[in-house]
Amino acid sequence: MATKPLAVLGGRSAEQFLTEFWQQQPLLVRDAFPDLGSLLNPDELAGLALDDTVESRIIIERSPIDWELRHGPFNETTFKNLPRTHWTLLIQALDHQVPAVADLLGAFDFIPSWRLDDIMASFAPVGGSVGPHFDDYDVFLVQASGQRRWQIGQHCDDSSELLPELPVRVLQRFEPTQEWLLNPGDMLYLPPGLAHYGVAENDCITLSVGFRAPSEPEILDDFAHFLLPRLKDSARYQDQELALQSNPGWISPAAVTRMSSILLQLVSDQDQVSQWMGEYFSRTKYDQNPEPPEDDYLDTEVLDLLHANLSVRREESSRLLYTGDAHRPQRLFVNGETLPIPPMTHSMVLYLCKNRHYNPVNLAMFCETQENLRLLTQLLNSGVLYIEEDLYQEDED
Ligand code: SIN
Ligand code: CO
C-alpha cells in the first residue's frame, strides 16, 4: 500500500507524500477528486447553519482591516441581509452531518485517524474569504464547487503579527510567494504555520480536511487529569540520602533531580500514555455520545440484517482507535472509553478501526464467532455503528 501511486496525491505514493510534504511544504493536486460534482450545494450548507446542533460562523469583510465574525445558529433573515459579496459561511464538522462527506475521509487514510479533526465547509460568494492567516494544523483544502484563488506566503509562528482587535486571525503582513486558481476537484495541502489567503472568484464551496495537534498545555493538562486518580497518595517524595546543607532555605540541585525523576517516571509510563492517548483522541469532537437505536438489537436480528446485505456504517462523529501491535490490538477505544478486546475478536476490531463503512458479507463472516457477534451487537446498541436502510454497495477504490 505504501508505494502505490495515489490519484488523490497526484500520482505520488503515500510514503513519498509523508517524506517530502507532510508538515513540510505545500502540494497542489489538480483533479484530486474528479467526482465531487453534486456532493453539496450552498442551500444545504445554509440549512445546516440554522441548526443549533451544528457549529457555524459567518465572517464578513467590511474592509481589509475591518472583519466581522458572527456565530450560528442563524436564521433565514441573517442570509437575506448579508452583503452581496465579501462574506463566508463556515460549517464545522460537515462530515458528521453528511455521510457522503465522511466518505471522503477514506482518501486520507494514509494519515492516522487519531490525527484527524474534521471536515469544515466554507461557502463564499465572489470576493469572500477569511483573510490572510495561518493555521496551527495541517489542512487539505478541497475545492468542491466554484473557483477559489489561493495564495500562499511566508512561514508564521506565535510572533507573527495579527491585525489588532479583530475577532478573526488576520495577518498584519502577507507576502505571497505562489498563487493558484482552484477548480472543482482540485486540492491544496498546506502544512501548519504557512500563511495562506483564499478568495472566491465566484460562488464557491471549499472543504477543509483539518488535522489536530494538541498543544503542550493541552497534553499536560489532560494527561494529568487522566493520571491523577490512578496515583497513590502513599507514594511520596523520598530523600533517605539527604546531605547536610549549610543553608536550610536552599533547594539543592540534588533535590531538584529527585523531584524531576518522579515527574519523568510519571510521564514516561508507556502503558499509561498509550491508554490516555486512546481515550483522549477517541473522544468525539463535541464530547457527545451517539444516539442509541430506539430498541436494542438481538444477536439474531443483527445476523439477519447482515445476511440481508444491509449496510453498516460507523456513526459519523464516532471514533474507533486501538493500541498494541499494528496487527494485534491490545486495547480498543470507542468515543473516549477503553473497551476490553474479547478473545477471538482481534481481526474484527482491526477491520472496524480501519474502515467507516462495513461490508455485511465480511461482518457476517466475523460473526460466525460468538464473541464477534456480541461485540458488533454491543456497538450497534450503543449507536457507535448503525444499520443503513440501503443495501451495501462496495466503495469504488
Ligand atoms: C476557507 O475555506 O475559506 C478557509 C479555509 C482555510 O483557510 O483554512
Ligand atoms: Co486556513
Establish if 121 belongs to a structural domain: yes
Sheet with 320-325: list strands edge to edge: 320-325, 328-334, 337-339
Establish if 374 belongs to a structural domain: yes
From atom 8 of ligand 1, which residue's Cα is the shortest distance away?
208
Verify whether ligand 1 is closer than 6 Å to residue 206 (CB atom).
Answer: yes
Say which CATH number the domain at 309 has: 3.40.366.30
CA of 90 to the centre of ligand 1 (A): 8
Choose one of 211, 229, 251: the last residue of a domain: 211
Verify whether ligand 1 is closer than 6 Å to residue 302 (CB atom).
Answer: no
Ordered mean pLDDT values, 10 residues apiece, the chain (397 residues): 86 98 98 91 96 98 97 96 98 97 97 98 98 98 98 97 97 98 98 98 98 97 98 96 97 98 96 98 97 97 97 97 95 96 95 97 98 98 93 66
Question: Whole-angstrom Cα distance, residue 131 to residue 192?
Answer: 16
Strand partners, 61: 67
173: amino acid identity, one letter: R
CA of 333 to the centre of ligand 2 (A): 30
User: Contact, 288 vs 254, CB < 8 A?
Assistant: no
Question: Whole-angstrom Cα distance, residue 355 to residue 378?
Answer: 18
Task: Let me know if 312 is exposed, middle or buried by CB neighbors in 10 A (0-12, 13-18, 19+).
Answer: buried
Establish if 134 belongs to a structural domain: yes
Domain that holds residue 389: 299-396
Question: Whole-angstrom Cα distance, residue 183 to residue 148?
Answer: 7
Domain count, the chain: 2
- Beta carbons within 8 Å of 103's beta carbon, 6+ residues apart: 356, 357, 395
Choose one of 211, 241, 256: the last residue of a domain: 211
Site to substitute for ligand 1 among 40, 67, 87, 122, most atoms within 8 A of C-beta: 122
Question: Whole-angstrom Cα distance, residue 341 to residue 117?
Answer: 26
Distances from the Cα of 4 to the Cα of 8, 12, 29, angstroms? 12, 8, 17
Verify whether ligand 1 is closer than 6 Å to residue 130 (CB atom).
Answer: yes
Establish if 316 belongs to a structural domain: yes
From atom 1 of ligand 1, which residue's Cα is the shortest distance away?
122
220: amino acid identity, one letter: L
Verify whether ligand 1 is closer than 6 Å to residue 91 (CB atom).
Answer: no
Question: Whole-angstrom Cα distance, residue 381 to residue 331?
Answer: 20
Q: What is the DSSP letter of 160?
A: S
Question: Whole-angstrom Cα distance, residue 41 to residue 48?
Answer: 11
Establish if 244 belongs to a structural domain: no
Question: Whole-angstrom Cα distance, residue 125 to residue 210?
Answer: 22
Question: Whole-angstrom Cα distance, residue 362 to residue 354?
Answer: 13
Verify whether ligand 1 is closer than 6 Å to residue 92 (CB atom).
Answer: no
Q: In terms of domains, do 202 and 305 share one?
A: no
Choose one of 211, 230, 265: the last residue of a domain: 211
Say which CATH number the domain at 164 has: 2.60.120.650
Q: In terms of domains, do 193 and 317 share one?
A: no
Work out the widest C-alpha separation in the chain, in whole angstroms: 82
- Who surrounds ion ligand 2 at CB < 5 A? 135
The per-residue pLDDT for 397 is 45
Task: Let me know if 9 is exposed, middle or buried by CB neighbors in 10 A (0-12, 13-18, 19+).
Answer: buried
Question: Whole-angstrom Cα distance, residue 94 to residue 321?
Answer: 21
Question: Whole-angstrom Cα distance, residue 273 to residue 269?
Answer: 6
Q: In terms of domains, do 330 and 204 share one?
A: no
Distances from the Cα of 166 to the Cα of 42, 161, 193, angstroms? 27, 12, 19
This prediction's pTM: 0.95
Establish if 99 belongs to a structural domain: yes
User: Contact, 319 vs 281, CB < 8 A?
Assistant: yes
Verify whether ligand 1 is closer than 6 Å to residue 118 (CB atom).
Answer: no
User: Contact, 377 vs 299, CB < 8 A?
Assistant: yes
Q: Where are the beta strands (DSSP E) in the chain?
A: 5-6, 12-13, 27-29, 56-63, 66-71, 87-91, 116-124, 139-145, 148-155, 178-182, 187-190, 194-200, 204-211, 310-314, 320-325, 328-334, 337-339, 357-358, 385-391
- The per-residue DSSP string of 249-298 comes to T---HHHHHHHHHHHHHHHT-HHHHHHHHHHHHHS-TTS-PPPPPSSPPP
Establish if 272 belongs to a structural domain: no
The per-residue pLDDT for 1 is 53
